[in-house]
Each structure stands twice: as C-alpha cells, then as structure tokens.
Amino acid sequence: MNTMQKLTRDKLFSLEQYAEARPAFRQKVLAHKRNRRLALGTNAALYFEDFLTMQYQVQEMLRIERIFEADGINEELEAYNPLIPDGSNWKATFMIEFPEVEERRAMLTQLNGIENRVYVQVADFDRVFAIADEDLERSDEEKTSAVHFMRFEFPAEQVAALKAGASLAAGIDHENYRVEIGPVAENIRESLVADFD
C-alpha cells in the first residue's frame, strides 16, 4: 500500500505564484470538495480531507498570514500534514452545525462524546468508528466541541472490498443523535476510495 503524498515546501506555490493561480486553483478545490462532504442528518457533517484540501488550507493560511519564511511554512506543514490520509485511512473534519448560538450551546452539552460515536461501514463488515482528536482534546466533562478531527482506520479486507465496489454507509450512534446514511452517494464513495491509492 503506497503512502499518500504529504505536503512539502516544494509542492506549494510561492505567495506571488499563488496570487496568480488562486482563482483557478480555488475553483478546482471547491469542485473537489463537493465530493468530499457527507451530511450526517441535518446538524452534522464530515468533511473528508486529502492532499488537495490540505494544500488549499496551507496556501490560504500562508496568504492570509503573509508567511514566506521557511520556519513559518514548516509550522503550517506540520499542523496540516497529519490530516492527509496515509493509505489505509480516511481523515475528516467533523462539524456539528447548529446556526443558532443558544441551540448550539445546548446541543453541544447533549452531544457530549458524539465524536467517539461517528462511524463508517463497508458492506456487511463491522463498523469502523472514528478515532477522534488525536492532536488535542476538544471536549470536557460537560460538553463537546463543534469541530473535531477524525481518522477512520480500515483493515485491509475492507479497503479491498471498497476498491472492488462494496457499498458504504455512515452514521452516528449517540443516544441524543442517531442517524445512518446509506448507501453513501457514488460520487462521494469514489472520491474517498481514491484516498487508498
């Protein structure tokens, strides 16, 4: 299994190059991201990350912060490279989305621990639950965070099954938020299966 490319400085545009390339690059990334968002009910979604989404994230950070020195660039790479899949997993940003501030605050209390109950399921195999927030703790005893970083680690036979066309479902199994999406739309499934190459 080949490991996914990681971002290095030589794979980034300079600030000047990025200023020119940005409109076209942004269009490409937005089109790509449409196949990388999986809604889990009305108030939660997984945004699956990969080389391209992270390259965009880093380029935007460098642009906004006007970072062009090696140390600053390396810091950004260290922060975002862990979110690029490694060939046997998917990596995602999980977002709990309630537009109203008060409702969101109340729900984040009720949904404590939800980040450990998000799963994907290949055909009839066991569910693969997310490994959440390996970088830092985002919840406390009282409430969860609205944003979590997740890794879904797959056994080899599930990767093989997905590559062979097996169906994919996803969901959340939390006492205050239960949802199952299945089968996942083909455009999303195909985009995610490419993460194993």
CATH number of the domain to which 127 belongs = 2.60.40
> Within this chain, do residues 13 and 42 fall inside the same structural domain, yes or no?
no
Per-residue pLDDT reduced to its tens digit, 51-102: 999 999 999 999 999 988 889 999 999 888 989 998 899 999 999 999 898 9
Contacts of 184 (CB under 8 A, 6+ apart): 38, 167, 168, 169, 170, 192
Co-location of 18 and 109 in the same domain: no
pLDDT at 93: 94
What is the reported pLDDT for 136?
A: 61
Q: Where are the beta strands (DSSP E) in 11-79?
A: 37-39, 44-49
Q: Are residues 196 and 99 in the same domain?
A: yes
Q: Across the chain, what does the average pLDDT equal?
A: 91
Tell me: do 184 and 107 sit in the same domain.
yes
Contacts of 53 (CB under 8 A, 6+ apart): 29, 32, 33, 36, 47
195 and 144 belong to one structural domain: yes
Instruction: Give pLDDT tens digits for 11-48.
Output: 999 999 999 999 999 999 999 999 999 999 999 999 99
Instruction: Tell me the torsion sign for CA atoms 122, 48, 142, 139.
Output: positive
Q: What is the pLDDT of residue 143?
A: 83
Residue 2, pLDDT score = 40
- Structural domain boundaries enclosing 65: 1-34+51-84
Q: Could you tell me if 137 and 181 lie in one domain?
A: yes
Asked if the model's pLDDT at residue 194 lies above 80, the reply is yes
Tokens of 91: 């990596």
111 in the same domain as 69: no
CA distances from 70 to 12, 74, 122 (A): 12, 6, 42
How many independent structural domains does the chain possess?
2
The pLDDT assigned to 1 comes to: 35
- Which pLDDT score, from 0 to 100, does residue 142 have? 77
pLDDT value, residue 188: 95
Do 195 and 105 reside in the same domain of the chain?
Answer: yes
Residue 3 in this model has a pLDDT that exceeds 60: no
Using the predicted structure, report yes or no on whether residue 119 has a pLDDT greater than 60: yes
One domain for residues 73 and 91: no
Give per-residue pLDDT as tens, 136-178.
665 666 788 889 999 999 999 999 999 999 999 999 999 999 9
Co-location of 163 and 80 in the same domain: no
Q: For residue 144, what pLDDT is reported?
A: 86
